[in-house]
């Protein structure tokens, strides 16, 4: 018996169709291999002539650049010609005016537009003569006046700066006023409300109905008490033929006494103030002369009068005086 495996009958038999397919594939593959190994000659592209061929060779960005450059050159040319038109100087014809023409212009006027229209002047304007504004004038910018200005009525709602201002009649200020420099007033000043001064005030004379100090009063000169002279009525202490006289004012003064014969104790005189005090004042009396100094003098006082008296009789036929100083 043979030790090799016998081939089955089905596998040992050859398939005619399979062999034919194998031979066909082998021929095809061989043909493709030969085609791949064979060098192929380059095929030249077909030549395209004419304008379209040239246009397609240009880059699209180059075309855009040329388009923009063309527009820019056109704009420059147009602007140049426009500037040449703007710089053309206009020729203004002049005409001499005689006196008759000037008189005619002075007696006539010209109206431009109507009240509903607005006249805009872009350039500067110089008026050699007078300018009359019948209505209100509104100035949006600053106003500079180099010459003198006469204003019948001036109302400012904002800050105003004047190098020098002269008011011939009345100056009314409804709000607060701040003056940084000196203020010189040639005539009187009337203040209906209060006044506050943070610095020194210098005045040759101050006349006021009431004067109130919140601090100390320092006087570097004399105190002169003015005012009307009070009146007096003689008392019984003068004796027969005695007289008195008063000088000064309600604030300070002197009572001069001349006794007669047979003086007695009592009041020499009663002095009535020219102006009544609001309350009973403080009165200081100083005797003048040795005859007055030896008396036991005293006073009585009210808001309207005060009397200078003596508890002992004065010497007969003597003359002396009493100084008085009154403070409310």
Q: How many CB atoms lie within 10 A of CB 285?
A: 16
- Is the CB of residue 294 less than 8 Å from the CB of residue 314? no
Quote the mean pLDDT of the chain: 77
pLDDT of the residue at 186: 75
Spans of all domains in the chain? 231-327
Q: What is the pLDDT of residues 13-64, one digit of tens each?
A: 445 454 445 445 555 555 555 555 555 555 555 555 555 555 566 567 777 8
Inter-CA distances, 138 with 129, 133, 146, 323, Å: 21, 11, 19, 70
Inter-CA distances, 2 with 5, 6, 7, 12, 290, Å: 8, 9, 12, 17, 195
Least confident window among 15-19, 288-292, 320-324: 15-19
pLDDT confidence of 231, banded at 50, 70, 90?
A: very high
Inter-CA distances, 317 with 85, 245, 253, 263, 320, Å: 120, 16, 23, 9, 10
pLDDT at 308 over 80: yes
Q: How many CB atoms lie within 10 A of CB 236?
A: 13
What's the CA gap between 308 and 297, in Å, rounded?
A: 7
- Report DSSP letters for 70-135, one per residue: HHHHHHHHHHHHHHHHHTPPPP-------HHHHHHHHT-----S-TTS-----S----SS----SS
Residues 6+ apart with CB under 8 A from 315: 259, 263, 291
pLDDT of the residue at 61: 78
54: left (phi over 0), alpha (psi -120 to 50) or beta: alpha
pLDDT of the residue at 8: 45
pLDDT at 229 over 70: yes
Residue with more model confidence, 172 or 92: 172
Strand partners, 324: 253, 285
Rounded to an integer, the average pLDDT of 317-323 is: 97
pLDDT at 236 over 90: yes
Q: What is the pLDDT of residues 68-121, one digit of tens each?
A: 899 999 999 988 888 877 555 555 555 565 677 667 666 666 665 566 667 677
Residues 6+ apart with CB under 8 A from 162: none
Of all residues in the chain, the percent with pLDDT exceeding 70 is 71
pLDDT of the residue at 128: 75
Spatial strand order in the sheet of 282-288: 243-248, 252-258, 319-327, 282-288
pLDDT of the residue at 234: 97
pLDDT at 67 over 80: yes
pLDDT of the residue at 57: 60
Rounded to an integer, the average pLDDT of 221-242 is: 93
Q: What is the pLDDT of residues 254-270, one digit of tens each?
A: 999 999 999 999 999 99
Q: What is the pLDDT of residues 183-222, one digit of tens each?
A: 777 777 777 777 777 878 887 888 777 778 888 888 888 8
């Amino acid at each position: 018996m043979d030790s090799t495996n016998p081939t089955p009958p089905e596998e040992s038999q050859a398939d005619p169709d399979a062999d034919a397919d194998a031979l066909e594939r082998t021929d095809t593959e061989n043909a493709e291999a030969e085609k791949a190994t064979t060098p192929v000659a380059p095929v030249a592209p077909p030549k395209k002539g004419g304008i379209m061929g040239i246009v397609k060779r240009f880059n699209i960005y180059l075309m855009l650049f040329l388009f923009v450059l063309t527009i820019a050159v056109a704009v420059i040319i147009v602007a140049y010609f426009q500037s040449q038109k703007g710089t053309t100087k206009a020729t203004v014809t002049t005409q001499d005016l005689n006196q008759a023409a000037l008189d005619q212009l002075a007696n006539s006027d010209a109206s431009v537009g109507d009240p509903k229209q607005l006249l805009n002047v872009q350039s500067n304007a110089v008026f050699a003569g007078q300018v009359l504004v019948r209505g209100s004038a509104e100035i949006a910018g600053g106003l500079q006046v180099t010459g003198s200005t006469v204003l019948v009525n001036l109302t400012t709602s904002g800050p105003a700066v004047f190098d020098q201002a002269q008011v011939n009649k009345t100056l009314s200020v409804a709000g607060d006023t701040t003056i940084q420099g000196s203020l010189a007033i040639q005539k009187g000043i009337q203040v209906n409300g209060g006044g506050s001064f943070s610095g020194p005030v210098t005045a040759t004379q101050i006349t006021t109905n009431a004067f109130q100090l919140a601090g100390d009063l320092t006087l570097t000169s004399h105190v002169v008490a003015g005012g009307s002279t009070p009146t007096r009525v003689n008392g019984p202490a003068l004796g027969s033929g005695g007289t008195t006289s008063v000088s000064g004012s309600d604030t300070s003064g002197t009572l001069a006494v001349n006794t007669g014969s047979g003086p007695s104790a009592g009041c020499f005189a009663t002095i009535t103030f020219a102006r009544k005090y609001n309350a009973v004042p403080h009165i200081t009396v100083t005797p003048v002369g040795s005859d007055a100094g030896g008396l036991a003098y005293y006073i009585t006082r009210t808001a309207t009068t005060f009397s200078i008296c003596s508890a002992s009789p004065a010497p007969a036929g003597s003359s002396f005086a009493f100084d008085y100083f009154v403070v409310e």
